[in-house]
Each structure stands twice: as C-alpha cells, then as structure tokens.
C-alpha cells in the first residue's frame, strides 16, 4: 500500500494515453517527463504565457489520483473540484462527503512540478496521508 498514490497516478496517465504515446516507456520515465522539472527546466518556462491545457490536465491528474487512492484506502467516494485562471492562479480541492480532505492553491501553476521523482512520490503519499487524517478528524 506504500506506493498507492504513485500506482494510481500512473494508472490514470496510462488510461488517458489514447494514442499509445507512452506505451513503450516505463512508469518512472513517464512520470518524470510529466512531473519532474529541475530548477534549470523551470527557468525555461515563460511566466507571462497563458497556461497550457495539458499542464492543467496533468495537475488535475495528481488530485484525481489522491481522490482515487483515498477511495481505495477508505472506501469513501471522493471527488475533485478545480478552477484555474489563464494566468495560472487557481485552486484544487478533493472532497470526501462534506469534508475537504485536500486543499491546494496555485499562484504559478505553469511551474507546478517536483524537483525529483522521489519528491513526487513523497509529496503524493504525504497529501494522501493528510487527506485520510483530516477525514477521520471531521467525519461523523
């Protein structure tokens, strides 16, 4: 169960791979390509440009994976509401019943990424653990 977040995320990414783009790559390679950006990579991203639809979709997948992994672990249905402006300001919430189990604000969603693969894994599991903790604290 330790890697529940990351296995859910790769499942989501592969499920959306309509054209077989990722078929020949391994899981870690795909997730790195999508979510890992070094400081050097970040410098290449223009600040002023409108945020890319693909980037918004990739961010959504992170929170959808939190929701799905939460469901797998607790059996409680979960959903994601996300809003994002063209400038990369936004917010994503994961909701279980009446409880907001994950809450993330974006000020610069263009650059939403992780420095290393291990960071992605660790951050994801941490968000998932937090979500479950919050749910247990507030549930009736």
User: Using CB under 8 A as the criterion, which residues of the chain lie in contact with a copy of itself when the complex forms?
Assistant: 81-83, 91, 93, 95, 98-101, 103, 134, 137-138, 140
Q: CB nearer to a copy of itself: give 32 or 82.
A: 82
Q: CB nearer to a copy of itself: give 45 or 82.
A: 82
CB of 134 to a copy of itself, least distance (A): 6
- CA distances, 59 to each of 1, 10, 18, 34, 137 (Å): 23, 13, 18, 10, 27
Q: CB nearer to a copy of itself: give 45 or 134.
A: 134
CB of 138 to a copy of itself, least distance (A): 6
CB of 139 to a copy of itself, least distance (A): 9
In which element (H, E) is residue 126 found?
helix 117-138
| Helix, coil or strand: residue 70 | helix
Q: How many residues does the chain have?
A: 140
For residues 88 and 107, is the Cβ–Cβ distance under 8 A?
yes
Say which residues have a Cβ less than 8 Å from residue 40's Cβ, sequence separation at least 6. none
CB of 43 to a copy of itself, least distance (A): 31
Q: CB nearer to a copy of itself: give 30 or 92.
A: 92
């Amino acid at each position: 169960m330790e890697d529940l977040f990351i296995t859910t995320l790769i499942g989501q990414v592969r499920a959306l791979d309509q054209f077989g783009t990722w078929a020949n790559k391994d899981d870690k390679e795909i997730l790195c390509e999508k979510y890992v950006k070094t400081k050097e990579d970040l410098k290449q991203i223009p600040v002023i440009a409108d945020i890319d639809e693909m980037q918004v979709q990739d961010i959504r997948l992170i929170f959808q994976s939190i929701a799905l992994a939460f469901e797998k672990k607790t059996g409680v249905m979960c959903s994601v509401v996300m809003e994002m402006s063209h400038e990369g300001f936004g917010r994503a919430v994961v909701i279980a019943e009446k409880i907001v189990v994950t809450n993330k604000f974006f000020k610069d969603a263009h650059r939403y990424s992780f420095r290393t693969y291990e960071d992605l894994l660790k951050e994801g599991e941490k968000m998932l653990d937090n979500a479950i903790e919050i749910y247990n604290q507030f549930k009736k």
